[in-house]
Amino acid sequence: MRGRRDEPGDGGGSLLLLSRNSGAAVGAQTEGIMQKLTGEGDRKFVARGVAHVPVPPVAAPVTVSFVLMPRFTLLAFTSAIEPLRVANQLAGQELFRWSVLSADGAPVTSSCGLPVVPDGSLTRDLETDYLLVCGGVEPENGLWPGLADSVRTQWRRGRIVGGLCTGAYALARAGILKGRRFTLHWENIAGFREVFPELDPVRRVFCVDGRIQTCAGGVASADLMLTLIEQRYGARLGQEVMNMCLMNRRRLGGEDQMISLAARLGTRSERVLKAVAYMEKHLEDGIDTAECAAHAGITRRQLERLFADHLDTSPRQYLNDLRLQHGRALLSETNMTVLDVAVACGYLSSSHFAKCFRKKFGVTPYHFSHFGAALGTAATSSGTDAWGE
């Protein structure tokens, strides 16, 4: 099934969504489709609606260029673009104009498998007010030659540059994040720190540090865009955009991406919370449960009873699960070897790490990593399985 642009009068965008099954048609018809749909007369950035917010006429719209990395997250992208469309609709004029770009102008497949046809390719001579890179899963593998250069060029020209979800990887490669406050999705922070040990992302909903603006992805993109709308056109328009998007609360940039530790664990036990926080902070240090108990101000036996009562597990098992989740993130987001990952997770040997990993996830660390995945892909394409049998 092929998506369509909105009819005249609707809030049209700058992309065409196609299902996974339309790949062949895309290859044969993309150029014609783009010529037909990217004409200025077919682009509609202002829709008609009932709600209205008076905004003084603007001389020119704010231009926002979204750059899609391979396997970008669709939620982060659409959560950023929709508030801009709604702002235009409420104001009855083109406050924002957006474009969607990729490495070569070809369709980009999102993390959910849905391809998006962009307006064109990212070039160094791009004229835009905002350049926002939308990342997703396996961001390090999604960086292409020239992306960092384009980001750096826009930065040097005084433009505002940013990253949605894992878009901060592109900004880091461009060398513009040192000494800056920035963020990316919490699941990718551990891997990011291993790839860029000199940089220190914060686990916040979004960050605005001068001309560098980043968010954690997901619906946090909407929170970042609401800040942009309010800064440019006032709090009233921002509030009405929230109402139209059915958002009953806008999160501030300083808020944590995740709910509190007490809410996550479902307990208010001060000792348990203190022990778990210590575990999460010192995963790479090879700590044991005795150290965690001492930090919580109780004996190891007392800690074991508290974990059994409040978390239905033992401190040792909980700590091991944390380490394995950390290892899974590193194997997924970096090119670290299994040995390096084992050490980074506090294991004394890679064999012990591999045994625990396979028991929990049903696959060896090697075959879960990029190296093993590449082996499996190659074997499948050659008519054999990943084991070469």
pLDDT at 385: 39
Q: What mean pLDDT value characterizes the chain?
A: 85
Statement: residue 246 has pLDDT above 60: yes
Shared domain check, 271 and 234: no
Shared domain check, 240 and 270: no
Question: Which amino acid does the sequence have at 367?
Answer: H
CATH code: domain of residue 211: 3.40.50.880
Residue 30 domain-assigned? yes
Is residue 285 within 8 Å of residue 302, measured between CB atoms? no
Tally of domains in the chain: 2
Ramachandran sector of residue 156 (left: φ over 0; alpha: ψ -120 to 50; beta: rest)? alpha
Shared domain check, 231 and 274: no
In tens, the pLDDT along 175-191 reads 999 999 999 999 999 88
pLDDT at 198: 96
Shared domain check, 26 and 99: yes
Shared domain check, 279 and 220: no
Please tell me the number of Cα atoms within 13 Å of 322 on its side-chain side.
Answer: 23
Adjacency order of strands within the sheet including 108-109: 16-17, 115-117, 108-109
Picking from 262, 260, 269, 265, the residue whose alpha carbon sits closest to that of residue 318 is 265
Residue 73 domain-assigned? yes
Domain boundary among 244, 279, 297: 244
Residue 283 domain-assigned? yes
Instruction: Give the model's confidence band at 28: pLDDT under 50 very low, under 70 low, under 90 confident, else very high.
Output: very low
Residue linked to tokens 């593998």: 141
In tens, the pLDDT along 61-97 reads 999 999 999 999 999 999 999 999 999 999 999 999 9
Domain boundary among 244, 278, 310: 244
pLDDT at 90: 97
**Which structural domain range is residue 339 located in?**
266-377
Shared domain check, 189 and 48: yes
